[in-house]
Structures are given as structure tokens and as C-alpha cells.
Amino acid sequence: MSQNTIVRFVKRPQGFVDESSFAIEPALMPQAADGQILLRNFYHSLDPYMRPRMTEMDSYIAPFDVGQIMEGGGIGVVVESRHPDYKPGDVVRGMLQWAEYQTAMPGGFMRKLESSGAAWKDYLGVLGSASLTAYVGLTLIGQPKAGETLYVSAASGAVGSIAAQIGKIMGCRVVGSAGTDDKIAWLRDELGLDAAFNYRTVASMDTALAAHCPEGIDIDFENVGGETLQSVLDRIRPHGRIIMCGAISEYNTAGPGLKRIFRIVSHKVRMQGFIVSEHFDMMPAFSAAMTGWLKNGKIKYRETVIEGIENMPKALVGLFRGENFGKLLVKVGPEPN
Amino acid sequence: MSQNTIVRFVKRPQGFVDESSFAIEPALMPQAADGQILLRNFYHSLDPYMRPRMTEMDSYIAPFDVGQIMEGGGIGVVVESRHPDYKPGDVVRGMLQWAEYQTAMPGGFMRKLESSGAAWKDYLGVLGSASLTAYVGLTLIGQPKAGETLYVSAASGAVGSIAAQIGKIMGCRVVGSAGTDDKIAWLRDELGLDAAFNYRTVASMDTALAAHCPEGIDIDFENVGGETLQSVLDRIRPHGRIIMCGAISEYNTAGPGLKRIFRIVSHKVRMQGFIVSEHFDMMPAFSAAMTGWLKNGKIKYRETVIEGIENMPKALVGLFRGENFGKLLVKVGPEPN
């Protein structure tokens, strides 16, 4: 009788990802070796960066191997410990397997998580890596000045919604786009963005950005790439900054390619990529700032919590189709007492 | 009887520029108004950035108006002065008209030039803006570290050849490309680049860069854009820097567009444009460094000097076709005694 369930990555997708890239399997309970801990995972985070890991590309993180157990940011509780610094009941956050139970060697990105009073899921959500990504990208790369125009693509997403609100806190005029009218209403009416538009229903990105950013764009928090990035580049202002956080439009299809690159020269643009894992040293500063902003009501957030490990493939596919709203989490087991 | 010759910009080019965009005309001797000087120009600089100015694009510098007298970096001697700080015989460097004689209001980029012993033409050439462009781009944007691989496209050009040699001085492994075998021989044998290849005769940019930069590219001094930039992006190393100095391949044709932009994210790349005129404050530091390098034989340069204002349109067209070698200057009149 199996006591564990895992999700394997079984096929590299061609174009759009569907559930056939994954297999949900029963498995035996793993046994902790010396120096290891046995974890019962209870929350998992689903994120856009998982798509490029499904491709055999040279990237900052090794591609998923076909046949391996999927992994991603998660939170688990120690069930059994053969590591001197961990005891049953300790909660850890790190790169965890898509598994109900797993063994792990703590260290690296895997750390004990001490709750400061927030709900456990918030440590993967509004206090987690996606929000840190927004904070690092905007402050370190974007360096916003009050009065500048910030455009955020995928503005209702886990990263975009936080980037947009930090932009408001820093005095920017913030314009966002998303793919449904209820997301747009939320951006405008609840998050207080200066303008927001539904990229699926506007005549074109060009006309939408021309209407909502009539004086051009100083800072672009880029999550999408493709046509979106082209429209941004075509109206970036002198000394503009393009924060390259993601390019979700490229993950599934090749796209048309970015033209009129000369504008990077003529407008003295800085287009810069970053990976949040190189900036985990900013986590304490970020946590302190975010905790304050949450307390003052300056940052609001939405999340979608899916229940059950067996729903993870479907939820991830939905993420790439823009079906979720805010941060996407999966509850794979009960929270510890 | 005319006493002056001027060159007008008479037609915006579609695609490649030809001489029909220019008209060589006799003109009357201009008269200096109060506060003005009358200049006899004797050297002019021809540069790639002139191509985008022929297009009606939003750029860092206003496009040429159809019908205006062409202008560019030049050196002239004061013939008559109605300005208190200038006297006949003074030499000035600045944005000058493509004219044998012109009037001007000194100030802005137009300054008196005191020779420190170099030939006058060197102040437009190896000690001029193109070399300053190389210096600013490489040091300020590129921030090279010893041992890094620097790739310079258009490496035999006025900017590229200096960028490549400053890269060598800073301890980089330097790889360059150019469009004729004699340029390649010069880069390798005289400038001492670690590798150089003829982009017109290699099987592809991809195979050439793979062969000559087997471990990837840390810094790209980008003058070309298009396919060249694509190949660079595809093998840029983590934390790579793409110094966006120009995109000559885009000036005449639209090109295919830059794909696989996600690599900017995954490899944490900084791609940054700049315009030398914002960094003229670095001229003294640059002049001092360059004078020393020239004295020690660490920097070598080539130039092509065309004679006669009537040959300027043809020479500029040749520049866009890669026909010149090194800095392209035009001698429009005799040097002052």
C-alpha cells in the first residue's frame, strides 16, 4: 500500500504545456538517511519560471530532467529528523518536491521558518519569493523616482501586483495590464493604480499604451516579453529602465522578435535581468518593509489556493493560460498544529 | 560668383542611403552677425550615427530636416570674429556644417581647441568623440574585469578599434569581427586581438562566435545589432553586459528582430545604451589616458582621409557599406598655418 503521492515531470512540452507533461503516482514513504529530515509538505507555490525549466535550455537553474519528481518553492513540516539542528514539528521553506512526503538535506535555499505571526501560506505568498522578486526588481534595477511612469505587465499576478503597489508607494504613476475585466477592476479600484487595461480586449498594445502612458514609460516591470515589450520599447523615455523579470509570452511560443533595438541606444535605456535567488540577502529588509506595508493597508494581495497534490499539473497549466488571480498556491496537506 | 560650397540634405532615404539624398551647392560667403564667428572648416568627421538622423525618428538628437545644410563633428578656423572671446586664427571643434565657410554662435558643444601637440585631425580622430565613445562605453557601461571575454562587432571601425584595444589594456580576452580580410589581419597582427573573423566569409555568426568565444561572451561592445546581436545574446554569460553603442544593421533595413529575450532574465544580463554627448565631462580623463596609451604604443589607429567637400556624400555612403578602414575624415580645406 502506498503512503505517498508524487508528481513526476514526464515529457518536455512543445509549445503550450498541457497535463500530459506530468504523471501523478503513488509512491512509498521515503526514509531519512543520516543528516536528512523527513518532511510532510503542506503548501506549494506555482510560478511562471517553471515553464522555462521544462525546456532544455541553458539557464540560471538546471532544466527539469524528464522523469524527475517536479519541484518548486514549498513549505513542509519535519516529521522525523536525523539532522542535529531540526526536530519534528519544525517548519521549513525551500525548494521542495511535488510530493506529500520527501526526505531532504537542509541547507542552501532550505531554511527553518520561524513564524512572525503571519499565516503559513503568506510565507510562500505575500511574504515569499514572488513578492521579494517584485521588491528587488523595482528597487535595485528600476530605481524609481517619484513622478515617473511605471508600467507593469501581468499586473494582477503574484509579482506584478506587488511591483505595481510598491511603485505607488514610491510615488510613481502606475499603469498595469492584465487579461480579464475583473482583474482590471481590482487593479484600479482596490490597488489604486492610475490606469489599467485588459490587453485581450484593447485594439492593440500600441494604442493602449499610447492612451494610458501619453508621455511615455520611464520604468517597465517586464513579465511578458513579445508584443508587450515591443510596445514598451517603442515608447520608453530617455534613461528608461526595463526590469527584465520574465518573458512569459516566449515560454510557449517563439514570438516575433524585438525590433527597433536602436531605441536602447538613442534613449539611453537600461534593460536588465535579475534572478531573485541571488538577492536573498535582501529578504530581511524586504520582510520588514512588507510587514509594515501590510499593517498600514498599503499593500493588498489576492491569492488562489488549490487543494490537493493531484490538482497541481492542472493548476500550473492554468497559470500559463492566465486563469488564476494573484498568487497561486496549492495546499497539499493540512497545516501543522 | 560663389565663394562657398555647401552640402544639403535633400531627401530622406528609404533603406540604403545613396548620394541622391544630398546636393552639393555653390553658396555665397556668409556674414557673421554680432556675437558670431565666421569659420573656415577644414576637417569633418563622418560617423554611423548620421544614418538615424536621416530618418524621422524620435531620438536623442533631432532628425535632419529635409533641405537643411548637413552637419557633423568638425574643426574650423576663425576667419572673422564678432564674439569677444574669439579672434581670427583660433581653432574650434564642434557640430559644424558641411560647408567650406559658415557662421556660428560659439557655446554648447562648440569650443575653442588648444592643441597639445597632436595633429589637428587627431582631435576628430583618435582623440575625438568616436574614441571617447569607446572609452565611455567600455569603462562606464561595460566595467570589464581582467580575464573576461569582450566581443567587439565592427572592430575595425573608429569606435570598435579603440574599444577592442582598451579591452586588451584592461586585461580582457578580446575577439573582434570586421568585413574584409585585411581588416582582420590588422586586428589580429597589429592591434593584437586574441581572435578576429571576417563576418562576411564565416559560415554563420553562430559558428564563428562558438569557435572564437567557446566559453561565451562576458561583454559585448555592440555596434551592429541584428543577427550579430542575436548570436551574442545566445551565448552571453551570466552577468554579461551588452554595451549598446549602435545598431548599424538596423539603420538601413528593418531586420528580423531579437528573439530569445528570456536569456536577459536567465543570465542576469545588463543591456544598456548611452550617448557620448552626455559624458563629455569624461573628456579630460579620456584625453589624458589616451595620450599616454598612444605614447606607449598601446593604442594604434587607422584613418581614411578623403579630400574635398564634394566627396562627402560618397564617403558617407561608403561608410554605411563598410568601405572605409578606421576613422573616416574629410579634409575640406587646408590646415591653418
> What CATH number is attached to the domain comprising B107?
3.90.180.10
B130 and chain A: CB distance < 8 Å anywhere? no
A107 DSSP β-pair partners:
A110
Q: Quick one: what percent of chain A has pLDDT higher than 70? A: 98
Summarize chain A as % helix, strand, coil (round to 5). Answer: 30, 30, 40
**Mean pLDDT rounded to a whole number for chain A:** 93
Nearest to A266 among B52, B225, B255 (CB): B52
Alpha-carbon distance A326 to B7, whole Å?
Answer: 60
Cβ contact, residue pair A265, B271, below 8 Å = no
- Residue B171 and residue B93 share a domain: no
pLDDT digits (tens, 9 = 90+) for A26-77: 999 999 999 999 999 999 999 988 988 998 877 778 899 999 999 999 999 9
Verify whether the Cβ–Cβ distance A273 to B267 is below 8 Å.
yes
In the predicted model, is pLDDT for residue A18 greater than 90?
A: yes
Query: What single-letter amino acid sits at A50?
Result: M
Ramachandran area for residue B147 (φ above 0: left; ψ -120 to 50: alpha; else beta): left
Residues of chain A with C-beta less than 8 angstroms from the C-beta of B278: 268
Residue in chain B closest to A264 (alpha carbons) equals B273
- The span from the CA of A198 to the CA of A176, in Å, is 9
Same domain, B262 and B170: yes
- Three-class secondary structure assignment of A71-140: EEEEEEEEEEECCCCCCCCCEEEEEEECECEEEECCECCEEECCCCCCCHHHHCCCCCHHHHHHHHHHHH
> Which pLDDT value is given to residue A253?
66
Whether residue A268 lies within 8 A of chain B, CB to CB, comes out as yes
Best mutation target, A265, A267, A277, to test chain B (most B CBs within 10 A) = A265
Query: Cell numbers of A164, please?
Result: 505595481
B64 and B204 part of one domain? no
Closest Cα in chain B, distance from residue A10 (Å): 23
Asked if the C-beta of A272 comes within 8 angstroms of chain B's C-beta atoms, the answer is yes
Q: Is A293 within the bounds of a domain? A: no
Chain A residues near residue B254 by CB distance under 8 angstroms: 259
pLDDT at B6: 97
State whether A106 and A139 are in the same domain: no
Please indicate if any CB of chain B lies within 8 Å of the CB of A55: no
DSSP-derived secondary structure letter, B192: -
Cell numbers at B59, concatenated: 531620438
Question: Cell numbers of B201, please?
Answer: 566569409
Q: How far apart are CA B80 and CA B74, in angstroms?
A: 18
Q: Of chain B residues 56-75, which have a CB less than 8 A from chain A? A: 57-60
Are A8 and A33 within one domain? yes
For residues A118 and A99, state if they share a domain.
yes
Same domain flag for B35 and B176: no
Low-confidence ranges of chain B (pLDDT < 70): 1-2, 251-254
Nearest CA in chain A to B245: A265
Residue type for position A22: F
Contacts of B257 in chain A (CB under 8 A): 256-259
- Contact criterion met (CB < 8 Å) for A261 and B244: yes
Question: Which residues of chain B make contact with A223, given a CB cutoff of 8 A?
Answer: none
Residue range A231-283, pLDDT digits in tens: 999 999 999 999 999 887 876 666 779 999 999 999 999 999 999 989 999 99
- Chain B contact set for A268 (CB, 8 A): 60, 272-275, 278
Alpha helices by DSSP H, chain A: 50-53, 129-136, 158-169, 181-185, 205-212, 226-234, 248-252, 262-266, 283-295, 312-320
The three grid cell numbers given for residue A134, joined into one nine-digit string: 517584485
Q: Does residue A313 fall inside a structural domain?
A: yes
Going by C-alpha positions, the residue among A185, A175, A205, A162 that lies closest to residue A303 is: A162
- Which amino acid, B323? E
Q: For residue B297, is it within any domain?
A: no
Closest chain A residue to the Cα of B244, Cα to Cα? A265
- Provide, as residue numbers in chain A, all residues whose Cβ is less than 8 Å from the Cβ of B266: 52, 57-60, 273, 275
| A152, pLDDT greater than 60 | yes
Q: What is the ipTM of this complex?
A: 0.89
A233/chain B closest Cα distance in angstroms: 12
Residue A255 lies in a domain: yes
Is B293 inside a domain boundary?
Answer: no
Contacting residues of A for B273, CB less than 8 Å apart = 263-270
Q: Give yes or no: residues B93 and B219 share one domain.
A: no
Cβ–Cβ gap B258/A256 under 8 Å: no
| A168 occurs within a structural domain | yes
Is the minimum CB–CB distance between A13 and chain B shorter than 8 Å? no
Interface of A with B in 222-251 (CB under 8 A): 225, 229, 238, 244-247, 250-251
Cell triple for B91: 581653432
Q: Note whether A114 and A134 are same-domain residues.
A: no
| 8 Å CB contact of A266 and B225 | no
A265 and B244 within 8 Å at the Cβ level: the answer is yes
Interface residue of A51, A153, A262, A271 to substitute, partner B, most B CBs within 10 Å: A262
CB contact under 8 Å between A272 and B264, yes or no, is yes
**Among B229, B263, B264, beta carbon nearest to A261:** B229
Q: Confirm if B61 and B130 have CB atoms less than 8 A apart.
A: no
- Long-range contacts (CB closer than 8 Å, 24 or more residues apart) made by A13-16: A13/A54, A13/A55, A13/A252, A15/A252, A15/A253, A16/A252, A16/A253, A16/A320, A16/A321
Chain B nearest-CA residue for A51: B262
Residue A238 C-alpha cell reads as 530617455
Average pLDDT for A146-156: 96
> Are A99 and A224 in a shared domain?
no
Same structural domain, A146 and A194: yes
A265 and B245: CB-CB below 8 Å?
A: yes
Judge whether B167 and B174 are in contact, CB under 8 Å: yes
Q: What is the CATH number of the domain that holds B204?
A: 3.40.50.720
Yes or no, beta carbons of A268 and B278 under 8 Å apart: yes
**Boundaries of domain holding B159:** 129-278
Question: Is the residue at B284 inside a domain?
Answer: no
Separation in Å, CA of A67 to nearest CA in chain B:
23
Question: Is B337 inside a domain boundary?
Answer: no
Size of interface A-B (CB pairs under 8 A): 117
What pLDDT does B253 receive?
A: 66
Number of domains comprising chain B = 2
CB pair distance less than 8 Å for B273 and A266: yes
Say whether pLDDT at A226 is over 70: yes
Interchain CB distance below 8 Å, B261 and A225: yes
> Does residue B113 sit in the same domain as residue B212?
no
Using CA atoms, how far apart are residues B110 and B94, in angstroms rounded to an integer? 4
| B136 and chain A in contact, CB less than 8 A | no
